[in-house]
């Protein structure tokens, strides 16, 4: 397995997370990537340093005003009187307030959906590095896609994650939507159809939003029931796409404590839809936070369950790019990645 990684991802080191009114340490730590990289290396996979690609691939997905905010927010924040040490909004526009923001605090509320995506001194460099990992891994598969080589695959060890990021908004630890950026790279390089299969425990609401009106990218997400779990306001089964995208978004919400067997049945349903769509390439938004041991646990997938998930995904007869999403520090995080990759490669 080719594992793309960036040594710059650790520059984004958020400190703060507001959970049910309490200020706690952010679980999206640089050590996540270290644990995953070590597990991949120890399992014999080849670690490749990502190439820097600049913002052009990112601009194909993300709004220019939003990117300018991400780049300048920390300096503008620190220029205010008595600022906190991270950019964290304390006001959001809400459904009844729509004026475009001018003040730095207002811009933060406009571009950051919640308090789980703080921006610190090194964040912009780390955020860009995560996108570079996704683009580097996608570019490594471009020739295989042109040749319709279904045996091609790679793993983008992205951090911070991306699937909650909309074209113009951060949220849920995410800033740039790495899976969406990779999918757009494939489209720009000649793929007619791309599927994004999201197996993170949280709904990929940003990915859904980016492609909701498009038929060239099929989006599918297995996730915890949003009536009781983040992101709450999206991820329902009735959200199937809009206009040209009608029928090209599939949400499969799962009940709390769903275990391996029910999950596999649901995954089979999603894979059958992908097979019918016949994409040129599948992007897998690989969250490992469906684990029963994850600190944000909602589902109850075992380490062997991740091996089974890997086997089912690897058995698909398409080129596949794995893009790391969630999966937070626990006793089984590295083992879950190893199990998934082993199952994937056995099937591939």
State pLDDT tens for residues 57-66. 999 999 999 9
Q: Which pLDDT score is estimated for 12?
A: 98
Q: Which pLDDT score is estimated for 147?
A: 64
Q: Which pLDDT score is estimated for 150?
A: 81
Structural domains of the chain, ranges and CATH numbers in brackets: 2-12+26-51+122-347 (3.40.800.20)
Q: Which pLDDT score is estimated for 235?
A: 98
Phi and psi at residue 187, to the nearest 5°: -60, -45
Q: Which pLDDT score is estimated for 250?
A: 99
The answer to whether residue 45 is catalytic is no
Residue 346: CB atoms within 10 A of its CB come to: 12
State pLDDT tens for residues 306-332. 999 999 999 999 999 999 999 999 999
200/223 Cα distance (integer angstroms): 6
The whole-number mean pLDDT for each consecutive block of 10 residues of the chain, a chain of 348 residues, reads: 97 93 94 98 98 98 98 98 96 90 96 97 98 98 80 96 98 98 97 98 98 98 98 98 98 98 98 97 98 97 98 97 98 98 96
Of the residues 62, 164, 202, 203, only one is catalytic, namely: 164
């Amino acid at each position: 397995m080719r594992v793309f990684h960036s040594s710059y991802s650790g520059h984004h080191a958020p400190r703060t997370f507001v959970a049910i009114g309490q200020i706690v340490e952010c679980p999206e730590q640089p050590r996540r990537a270290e644990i995953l990289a070590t597990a991949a290396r120890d399992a014999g996979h080849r670690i490749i340093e990502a190439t820097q690609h600049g913002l052009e691939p990112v601009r194909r997905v993300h709004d220019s005003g939003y990117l300018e905010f991400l780049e300048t927010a920390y300096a503008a924040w620190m220029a205010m009187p008595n600022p906190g040490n991270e950019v964290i909004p304390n006001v959001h526009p809400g459904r009844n307030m729509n004026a475009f923001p001018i003040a730095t605090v207002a811009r933060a509320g406009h571009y950051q959906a919640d308090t789980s995506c703080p921006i610190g001194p090194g964040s912009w460099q780390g955020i860009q590095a995560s996108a570079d990992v996704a683009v580097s891994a996608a570019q490594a598969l471009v020739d295989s896609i042109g040749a319709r080589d279904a045996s091609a695959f790679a793993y983008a060890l992205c951090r911070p994650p991306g699937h909650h990021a909309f074209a113009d908004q951060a949220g849920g630890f995410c800033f740039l939507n790495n899976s969406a950026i990779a999918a757009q790279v494939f489209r720009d390089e000649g793929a007619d159809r791309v599927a994004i299969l999201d197996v993170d425990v949280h709904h990929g609401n940003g990915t859904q939003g980016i492609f909701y009106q498009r038929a060239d990218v099929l989006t599918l997400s297995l996730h915890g029931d949003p009536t009781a779990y983040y992101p709450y306001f999206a991820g329902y089964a009735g959200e199937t796409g809009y206009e040209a995208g009608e029928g090209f978004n599939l949400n499969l919400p799962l009940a709390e404590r769903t275990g391996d067997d029910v999950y596999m049945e649901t995954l089979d349903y999603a894979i059958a839809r992908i097979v019918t769509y016949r994409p040129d390439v599948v992007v897998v938004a690989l969250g490992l936070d469906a684990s029963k041991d994850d600190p944000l646990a909602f589902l109850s997938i075992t380490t062997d369950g991740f091996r089974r998930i890997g086997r089912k995904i690897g058995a698909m007869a398409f080129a596949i790019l794995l893009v790391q999403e969630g999966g937070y520090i626990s006793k089984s995080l590295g083992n879950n990645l190893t199990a998934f990759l082993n199952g994937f490669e056995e099937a591939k």
